[in-house]
Every structure is written in C-alpha cells, then in structure tokens.
Amino acid sequence: MSLTPQQNLRAYVDYLRDLGIYDLYRRDEPQTLLPELLRTAIADSVSRVPMAAPPPVPVARAVSAAAAPLPPRAALPPRPAASTKEASPFDLLASTLSPELAAPMPKPIPFDDLAPLPLKILSPAERPAALEAVRADIGDCTRCPLAYAGRHKIVFADGDPNARLMFVGEGPGADEDASGLPFVGKAGQLLNNMIGAMGLKREEVYIANIVKCRPPGNRTPEPVEANTCTQFLIKQIDIVRPEVIVALGATAATYLLGVKQSLGSLRGRWHSSRGAKVAVTYHPAFLLRDPRQKGEAWKDLQMVMGEMGLKPPAKA
C-alpha cells in the first residue's frame, strides 16, 4: 500500500493526537504549553480549520480515521508551499510549525546512556527464550507512526541468539517488510557475501535494524521512530551480548553511538556500545550504488576479523 504524502501526514497526525504528542518536539518548555501549541499547529496544518483538542481516541481507530476524507478547508491564508519530495510527513508537518517548534531534535543519546547495562549476562541456553519474550513484548506494535505508514510485517531480527558478531542496519525495505526478516533483498545478498568473506555464515551472526518497521519509501527513520524502537534493540543486544557490533551506515552509527558525524570520521577505529566493540562501515545498499567503496568496506571488515580472530575462507 502506498500512501500519498498527504495521507501519510494525516495518519501521523491522527496517531499523534491519540498520543497527545507530548514526546515529539519536547524540549525544555513547560509541558502544559507545548501540547496545546502543537495541537493548534497540527490541526491547522491538516485542515486549516481551528479545532478543539480532540477527546482521546483508541489507537486502533487512528487507522480508519487516517482513511477518512479531510474536513473542508476554511478560507484561510494559503500555507507555505510544503515540499513533496519523498517527503517525510514530519518535514511537511515541520514546515507548518513555527521555527521554535520545528527546530531539529536534540542530539541522539548513546545506547549506553539510555539504559543501564544489565547486571546479569544470560547463559547461552537462556537467550532464545529471552529474545522471544522481547518479540512478544513488541506484539503488533503501534508505539510509533511507522505502524500506520503501510508496514506489513515487523522485522525483529535474524540469526544466532549467541552470536559473537552482530550487524545493525537502518530499517526494513520492501523485501524485508514482506518477509519479516532483515536483509533479504539485494542489500541483504551483498551483506551475506560480506559475512561469507569474513569466514562466517549468515546463521552464525545476529542481524537487526534500528527500526523494525519499514519507513515509507525507504526514507531514513525519523528520530521519534528510531528513539521509540531502539529500546527493543538495546534489549536484543543485552541478551545476545555480541563481542562486536558492525553498524551498517550512518543511521545505525548515529543511534548506537549517539553521535551525528560523517561515516568517514567514524570508520577505521573502534567505538563501544552496550559492552560490545563497535565498528562502523558503509551500508550494503550504499555499496550497491557505489561499488568502488567495497574495498573501503572490506578494510572495515578486516579490522573486525582481526579483533575476532576470523580468517577468510580458503579458496576452493
């Protein structure tokens, strides 16, 4: 199902109304003021008709509300032209907000600062059930707007619950959304080759993403989406306890490490997150677009192999 940017925005807005939008642009302002300001701004951006704060609506109703026609527009001044590029609904929404409210989100918070490291490391035998419990907790998730943006399957993870090596990508694409497994499309085939070149099999590593639902049009996850979802990835990392995590691309690096820096400045050295050593490399989808960078990615993987004592497979 492909939504127009306007339908997408509508779905987001309905969802945010259900939540009271207290978290989206929260900064240091008094909490009593912001929701009211946002309600007004969002109501205005959608219908151009001033609305009273809606009564709480069960989340399930947000979906049908999203499909409902927009209310008639009142004769109000035209809103500034909103970009309709592969537009994130948040871009559209932000374009209607005052500069104060539309200011970028504060910097990401490192995974290490989001939750204390668990005192107990689970035994290998306990890990599969612990991961299943996390998956059960996620359920048919409606915690963030991606639940309403056309997702088909929640993509939890794939691989060995006792893996020494974990790969973290950005979020599911179309193939992953259809299958429920991470990295099964073209980028996934390249990732499988990268894993093979390291002397491992896909089943021996653990693969997950920053967000578990497909962002529409494969856009980058919004901070509110990533920040909502990563609580589960943190639990997965804490259960699997990999020695090394490879962050595939800038989004994975940004959220794992809590830094917003160029990939180039993060590659080629070790970072740390949740007790694991973290290496940053190019996302396989980027390598498909620019295969000349494969040699650079191979250098990153060799750094990981050196750390883990891995050898490339013997040539047949």
What is the DSSP annotation of 211-240? -SSPPGGGPPPPHHHHHHHHHHHHHHHHHH
Among 12, 148, 183, 232, binds ligand URA (CB under 6 A): 183
176 belongs to the binding site for ligand URA (CB under 6 A): yes
**Region near ligand URA per CB under 6 A, out of 78-86, 94-102, 182-190, 235-243:** 182-190
Q: How far is the CB of 293 from ligand URA (least distance, A)?
A: 16
- Which CB sits closer to ligand URA, 13 or 285? 285
Q: Does 255 bind ligand URA (CB under 6 A)?
A: no
Q: Which stretch binds ligand URA (CB under 6 A): 58-66, 67-75, 119-127, 183-191?
A: 183-191
Tokens found for residue 84: 């309709």
Contact 244, 175 (CB under 8 A): no
Binds ligand URA (CB under 6 A): choice among 108, 169, 215, 221: 169
Tell me which stretch binds ligand URA (CB under 6 A): 24-32, 69-77, 131-139, 180-188: 180-188
Which listed residue (92, 93, 237, 285) binds ligand URA by CB under 6 A?
A: 285
Question: 248-263: buried (b, 16+ CB within 10 Å) or exposed (e) per residue?
Answer: bbbbbbbbbbbeeeeb
Written as one string, the DSSP assignment of 43-61 is HHHHHSS--PPPPP--TTH
**Counting every residue, how long is the chain?**
316
192-231: contacts with ligand URA (CB under 6 A):
209
106-115 b/e with 16+ CB inside 10 Å = b? eebebbbeee
The correct pick among 89, 108, 159, 173 for binding ligand URA (CB under 6 A) is 173
Residues at the site binding ligand URA, with contacts judged by CB under 6 A:
169-173, 176, 182-183, 187-188, 209, 285
